Chains A and B, each alone.
Chain A
């Protein structure tokens, strides 16, 4: 796949991967965000990837955006354009540039290797040009917007839409900031780069009447999914990368008449959220790995007392403080089996940013219908990644949920053995004249403490069967690709895109392979064993360690559940999302394919035959 020439001699490319490398205070996330939102507004597919240092201020940081036509499933293994603000940015990220790609470096700070001829290196005085353009006391602030101007010229981006985005972004602040941003943008745009002009292929025209695209990150999508599902109360404690959800909810919920409480610790947060739920308002708490561990005793109570609750866990690298700003999927077993005693609960894992929104709504349905805690197991990659997706049909999706304070029949039992009972919140008049005590002690059907072995067996079975029944309402799992054959690739969470692209590449190489992304982690979808039986190998791709017995966490669970020796495991723990090539190579090794690089773009789309 290379660039093709259009009539006006500007080469046309299907998609491009741009990596911006600088320090965390340079505002490169803002540039990435502008590009992502522009792509969304242009009905183009877009996906981003970023790393944030866990230092308080400063430190190297990158933002990678892939935009173009066609289905963009991953942020791209390697970049076509590298923007390097500093020498360290250049040195750390030069290798991420595909042969034939373009290095845009700040000639005020970077001295690239003069012998490096496999790429096109273009020096631009980003810092001094920005200072010159903006003037005044703003120093080099705004060089990110200068770079945006450069990229806009290079890729013939939609200027009215971009300037509109800049105005929206800075419009709330004082006029000078908008003016300076536009000055920096114009200066970047005016920089002459005659031989560096490309045109992104237009996406197919949107279907008339189709919803517009929205562009956002996974944490934001979860927060607004919960609001759409009628969640109005919550409590939490700050921890990276969970915090942005609580920040959004703290500001947004009062608009909807709700309350979000910042608590003294993770345990108090889980408890306050359970208190809200007990009051009849399904509530949310959330955290990241270590915080989820702290909430576990409270979650055990939630299972025992049969209280609905939403718990969001944004996974990061562990154990302990681990790698707080990196991706890892190592909380799966904690989410399912954490806490004490036999404590079945529901665990769901969204597969992309759009799914963060819809799975949050599904989580609320399950929590209410089955009166149980539900964990949404997302991760750092989904939390911070920006994707474009069709705007949800809110009028159809939104739920108005009020506490059910209707009088309860005299026959009401808080914990019947033969059915799921929805909690009767205070304010409900009890027809029997007997008011229920919700309890963490083992109890009989009326909630009285019971140490009877027979009752404990019955209640344990009741709580187990209740959670098993959740799977009966799931839509049948969908397999992408070959319905049977050499291998079924299984993933969960943020690995969806790279696995899907790897499957495309493997099929291109003649391998019969399917893809199944598991969103319902616990309970699992019914009937998976029938799907598994159709493949020679089932390879579970996840970002965690193979453990003492050689299998990643989901692979361990699936092997225990299905006792199928064909289930194998592909794991890694480098704190980064999977590259398509990594998955391809590991699968190729499992299947003993000769070529492990098949279908990889070996040259950048920007590599051009020299124009005459």
Chain B
């Protein structure tokens, strides 16, 4: 077989990352899908971050949104349903030099992968997770999802769903994720800001983006879209300037305040709910363990270490 044609010449080393360099396969999403805007915003985030292209990793599980890695020209992969977080933890922990991004939907993250979401948050590996929540199973054509509202009529609940939906913000804060934010696919600037801040956070950062499925749950998130009669309310963060209005602003390090925000009625607010800059990452803790252990071994070589072990078995 002949060698593949060069679609774009490789960028010169050190050249700024451009959308052109980051574009890969054409997205396979339905016209009008909210995920297009998330992808476009992610390109902007990468342009701003300007990481060396080969150090960016984009991973995903299974679902419509999980097709994401095919559309980003970076190292990446398409893993199995719901398990991309532990996979990405392996990438991040084994290769501290990489920038790891994980994309997925509400079914991938809150349903089949729910256990991993909790434990990844608990372990706090350095990576950014973007949940594109459409509140429906789209790839399998309209079944109830873990964030489908009560009353939502799907093929698996034709009479209207009656299982209590997950509250993503509350679940994430409770799990111990160290950066939790919420955005909306109709708000490009806001998405860019949230994803950028998430990627600059040292730890497990999660952004939930409400991203409408126009095929199977049209209008799901109109409640937060002003031109559809909804209310777009962002979270104003505390400036600590001593003014009376600052007292009303949100302190993202205040966990209780974050839980209160998460309990607000639909559509709720958008922005950074919670950020913990104190808790060390698993990456840092494992590296510390290695450093301390190496110190104790007096930096013995691998051969010396293993020879010693076998000598003890004599």
Contacts and interface: CB of A to CB of B under 8 A. Distances in A.
Contacts of B313: 37, 40, 214-216, 220, 391
A411 B7 contact: no
A528 interface: no
A269 B90 CA distance: 9
Contacts of A272: 86-87, 89-90, 93
A193 interface: no
Contact of A435 (B76, B93, B293): B76
Nearest to A300: B80
Nearest to B9: A433
B75 A435 contact: yes
A290 B3 CA distance: 45
Contact of A437 (B69, B92, B300): B69
A255 B294 contact: yes
Interface residues of A, number: 81
Given A215-B313, A254-B289, A276 B294 contact: no
A269 B97 CA distance: 22
B87 A271 contact: yes
Contacts of B98: 279, 426-427
A445 B2 CA distance: 11
Contacts of B54: 426-430, 435
A428 B89 CA distance: 19
Q: Is the interface of A mostly helix, strand, loop or mixed?
A: mixed
Contacts of A428: 54, 75
Contacts of A215: 313-314
Interface residues of B, number: 62
B305 A275 contact: no
B4 A432 contact: yes
A427 B86 contact: no
B153 interface: no
A298 B310 contact: no
A259 B306 contact: no
B95 A426 contact: yes
Interface of B: 1, 3-4, 6-11, 21, 24-25, 53-57, 69-70, 73-80, 83-84, 86-95, 97-98, 115-116, 118-119, 286, 289-290, 293-294, 297, 300, 302-303, 305-307, 309-310, 312-314
Given A235-B86, A268-B86, A275-B88, 18 more contacts: A212-B314, A215-B314, A256-B302, A264-B116, A264-B118, A271-B86, A275-B90, A275-B92, A278-B77, A278-B91, A279-B94, A395-B303, A410-B3, A411-B4, A417-B1, A426-B54, A427-B95, A437-B70
Interface of A: 37, 40-41, 168, 212-216, 220, 224, 227-228, 233, 235, 252, 254-259, 261, 263-265, 267-269, 271-281, 283, 297-298, 300-301, 305, 391-392, 394-395, 398, 400, 403, 410-411, 413, 416-418, 424-441, 445-446, 448-449
**A-B pairs with the 10 shortest C-beta distances?**
A275-B90, A433-B10, A426-B75, A268-B86, A264-B119, A214-B313, A438-B77, A271-B86, A411-B3, A279-B94
21 contacts: A41-B314, A214-B310, A235-B86, A254-B289, A254-B290, A264-B116, A268-B86, A268-B115, A275-B93, A275-B94, A392-B310, A410-B6, A411-B3, A413-B4, A416-B1, A418-B1, A433-B8, A434-B73, A435-B24, A435-B54, A449-B70
